[in-house]
Amino acid sequence: MESVEIVEADLSRAAHQHAVSELINAYAADPMGDGKPLAAKVRKALIPGLRQHPATLIFLAYQGDDAIGIAVCFLGFSTFAAKPLINIHDLAVLPGYRGLGIGRQLLEAVERKARMLDCCKLTLEVFEHNHRARRLYEAVGFAQVTYQEEAGSALFLAKPF
């Protein structure tokens, strides 16, 4: 396999904009994404929205000139640690490149950035039945978290509009 390069995306570059748009659309269409491609209006608003959001942090995996993986992250803040954190919102590798360690390389790049920014943790959500992703996350140290035994495990909840 040709070597893979992980780069921090620069959304002022047209090539990176195109890569982000294509990779997120492919991820959305995946059964472990949304099961369907992005709506045209979402795809049109994606790059401007990411550029406008002050906490956007994106890593791209390239094999040669081909963008084959992505980690879309957002900086957050932990009030209990008084330090920043990074939430990995999307992690995706194109189907033909899965199982080759690219997801792990993306996660390692995110972790390096988090340590450089003195973050207290990385967070993410994963579908219960996305067994491949869960194995990867657990292998690199992610786990369902319990901060206080009496409070129980942390759960991720959403209220869609």
Q: CA dihedral in degrees (23, 90, 45, 10; nearest 10)?
A: -70
Number of independent structural domains in the chain: 1
**Could you read off the pLDDT of 12-57 as tens digits, one per residue?**
999 999 999 999 999 999 999 999 999 999 999 999 999 999 999 9
Domain annotation covers residue 125 = yes
* pLDDT score at 155: 84
Domain annotation covers residue 99 = yes
CATH of the domain at 64: 3.40.630.30
What are the C-alpha distances in Å from 94 to residues 20, 50, 88, 115, 134? 12, 21, 17, 27, 17
Q: Are 122 and 114 in contact (CB under 8 A)?
A: yes
pTM for the model stands at: 0.94
Q: For residue 120, what is the DSSP state?
A: S
Residue 89 belongs to domain spanning: 4-151
Domain annotation covers residue 156 = no
Name the stretches of the chain with pLDDT < 70.
1
Domain annotation covers residue 59 = yes
Domain annotation covers residue 158 = no
